[in-house]
Structures are given as structure tokens and as C-alpha cells.
């Protein structure tokens, strides 16, 4: 299956990067290389693009897509949580811009055997990096009801989390849950019929929660953003696209902390906290997709773009 992914807020995010023809830019979530290709079109000799993705399929697809451009680029199979070590290994000190497109790619969702989607009957996997050991099946078959409840409630914002966890534990007493359709049936059985008649697919929130837990998606965002800002040149920009409130909240608060000038009480005559403003937030309110983009790509409906600039 070809790596197909429609990049969301493509024009807006790259425009906010303000690419310099000889600049160095890092696409921390390479995916289908849509954003990377848009960036590389703005570069000339002397410019450089670095693409990072933990999915080997993304690396292979991006290599083919970007090979036709006569611009220096380097693709690294890794997690953006290791951004500092990646740049160190490439002997790059400072860069002109970072782009993060958080969440899952359409390719991963639409490839049944990856086990991300509740729409297909497939192994319950959900690993973005298939070199990792822990799958979603490992979580649902080994974690306690309390821990499953915590994951489903925290990462899926699912009000039936406790009930779903109890049904999972009861089901696995008879047989292991190894397939996506098994988990979907358990979730449907756990959620009362009346609650299933409206709203999104009853399994959507639980699948999201397990995916986030398997890939440790939320816990790495704040550190990665801080690491990125520390490697930005003055006036360099960082653009972050999120797809649900949990991600967006982290990005919003991190940018707010990084843009704080002083944390001392107002009555202090002299600053004693030594807090220095690191960035200026460019987007007072997040940029969202146009109605046309949402019509063309329904998965874009919840996307939000936030941008900050290095002081």
C-alpha cells in the first residue's frame, strides 16, 4: 500500500515558517512528506531539510518523494522526543524552523494490518514504531482494570471508561483480546445502547486512548517543544498542528510558559525569578482549516495550528 496522507493546514503552516532559501528546517513528523515537500520547494543550494519519523514506511515514501529536488535533505528514523541527540549527531547547532504535525497519519489509519482503526478487523497493534515491543493488545490483556480506566478516561476523555475497562477484564478471563474487532465488540457491549445511538463511533475514544498510550504521544510533547525552542535561531519559528484538545492544551500552555517574561509578584521592585522570555507567540488564537479544506478532507476538521517565534 502506498503511503498516502493529506497534509492538513499545509499552506498556512509553511507560510508561518517564513522559509529562507538557505535556511535549515526540521519536519519533526515527516509522515507522507507533504509539509516537507512544501518546505523544500522554498529552499535552494545551502538550504537543508531534516525529516524525522519513527515509521519506516514514512521514511521510505518520503525518500522517493523528495529525491527529485536538488536540495540537501536528511531523513532520520527516530522519535522527535530525541530531537537534541538527532541534531547533535547531524552536527547541527541551530535551525531556522521546526514543524510538528502531531497525531496519526491517514496511511497508518487506513492500513488495516497496523491495527489503528476500529473500522477493520486486524491485529490489535497500534505501534507507530514497529521496533517497539508493546502493542495495544499487550495493554488490554495485561493492565489492571484501574490502569485501563485511567488510560481510557485520561487519553480518550471517555465517560464510560470504568465500565469499558471492567468489560475488557471480564472478557479476557475467557480469551485474549488480540484483534480489533474483538475489542470493538467489548466496547459496544460495555456502553449502554442509548449512549451508542448518537455521537461518534463508540470505540473511537478508547482506540484513541490506547494509541496514545502505546506510543507515549502526550508525555513527550512539552519536552520536545522546549528542546526545539532551545535550538532555534533568533526569529526562527516553531509551528505545531494538533488534532485534539489534549495535544492543543499542552502546546498552548508550553508556548505560554516560554513566552513569560517574569513570574515575580507585581509588588517586587526588582525581578528575582530570572525568567527570560524565550518566544513570542505569533498566533493569539489557533489557525483552523477553511471550510473548503474540511470539505475536501474531513479529518482536518479538528486541526489547530499554533506558532511561536524565538526571541
48 within 8 A of 66, measured Cβ to Cβ:
no
243 within 8 A of 103, measured Cβ to Cβ:
yes
- Shortest CA distance to 208 belongs to which of 145, 132, 155, 150? 155
For residue 127, count CB atoms less than 10 angstroms from its CB and return exposed for 0-12, middle for 13-18, buried for 19 or more.
buried
All residue ranges of the chain with pLDDT < 50 are: none
How far from 46 is each of 41, 141, 279, CA to CA, in Å?
13, 51, 26
pLDDT computed for residue 89 by the predictor: 98
Question: Cα separation of 77 and 51, whole Å?
Answer: 9
Partners of 27 in the β-ladder: 51, 99
Structural domains present in the chain:
10-103+218-310 (3.40.50.150), 115-215 (1.10.150.170)
* Lookup result for grid cell 507507530: 128
187 within 8 A of 202, measured Cβ to Cβ:
yes
pLDDT computed for residue 2 by the predictor: 61
Question: Cα separation of 227 and 86, whole Å?
Answer: 11
Question: Cα separation of 184 and 205, whole Å?
Answer: 11
Strands (E), 2-87: 24-27, 48-53, 72-77
pLDDT computed for residue 1 by the predictor: 55
pLDDT computed for residue 4 by the predictor: 64
**Residue 96 gets which letter from DSSP?**
E
Question: Cα separation of 287 and 305, whole Å?
Answer: 5
pLDDT computed for residue 6 by the predictor: 80
127 within 8 A of 113, measured Cβ to Cβ:
no
Amino acid at each position: 500500500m502506498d503511503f498516502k496522507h493529506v497534509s492538513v493546514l499545509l499552506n498556512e503552516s509553511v507560510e508561518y515558517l517564513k522559509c529562507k532559501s538557505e535556511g535549515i528546517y526540521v519536519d519533526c513528523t515527516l509522515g507522507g512528506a507533504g509539509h516537507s515537500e512544501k518546505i523544500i520547494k522554498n529552499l535552494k543550494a545551502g538550504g537543508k531539510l531534516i525529516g524525522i519519523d519513527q515509521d519506516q514506511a514514512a521514511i521510505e515514501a518520503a525518500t522517493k518523494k523528495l529525491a527529485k529536488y536538488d536540495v540537501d535533505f536528511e531523513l532520520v528514523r527516530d522519535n522527535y522526543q530525541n530531537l537534541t541527540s538527532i541534531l547533535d549527531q547531524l552536527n547541527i547547532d541551530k535551525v531556522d524552523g521546526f514543524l510538528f504535525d502531531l497525531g496519526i497519519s491517514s496511511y497508518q489509519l487506513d492500513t488495516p494490518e497496523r491495527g489503528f482503526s476500529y473500522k477493520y478487523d486486524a491485529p490489535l497493534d497500534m505501534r507507530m514504531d514497529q521496533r517497539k515491543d508493546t502493542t495495544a493488545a499487550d495493554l488490554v490483556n495485561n493492565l489492571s482494570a484501574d490502569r485501563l480506566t485511567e488510560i481510557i478516561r485520561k487519553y480518550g476523555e471517555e465517560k464510560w471508561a470504568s465500565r469499558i475497562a471492567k468489560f475488557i477484564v471480564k472478557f479476557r478471563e475467557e480469551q485474549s483480546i488480540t484483534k480489533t474487532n474483538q475489542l470493538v465488540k467489548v466496547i459496544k457491549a460495555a456502553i449502554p445502547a442509548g449512549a451508542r445511538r448518537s455521537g461518534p463511533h463508540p470505540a473511537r475514544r478508547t482506540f484513541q486512548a490506547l494509541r496514545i498510550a502505546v506510543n507515549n504521544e502526550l508525555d513527550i510533547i512539552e519536552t520536545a517543544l522546549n528542546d526545539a525552542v532551545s535550538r532555534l535561531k533568533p526569529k526562527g519559528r516553531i509551528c505545531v498542528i494538533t488534532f485534539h484538545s489534549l495535544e492543543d492544551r499542552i502546546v498552548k500552555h508550553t508556548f505560554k510558559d516560554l513566552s513569560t517574561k517574569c513570574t515575580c509578584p507585581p509588588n517586587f521592585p526588582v525581578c528575582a525569578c530570572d525568567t527570560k522570555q524565550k518566544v513570542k507567540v505569533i498566533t493569539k488564537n489557533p489557525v483552523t482549516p477553511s471550510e473548503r479544506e474540511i470539505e475536501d478532507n474531513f479529518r482536518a476538521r479538528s486541526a489547530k495550528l499554533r506558532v511561536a517565534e524565538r526571541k
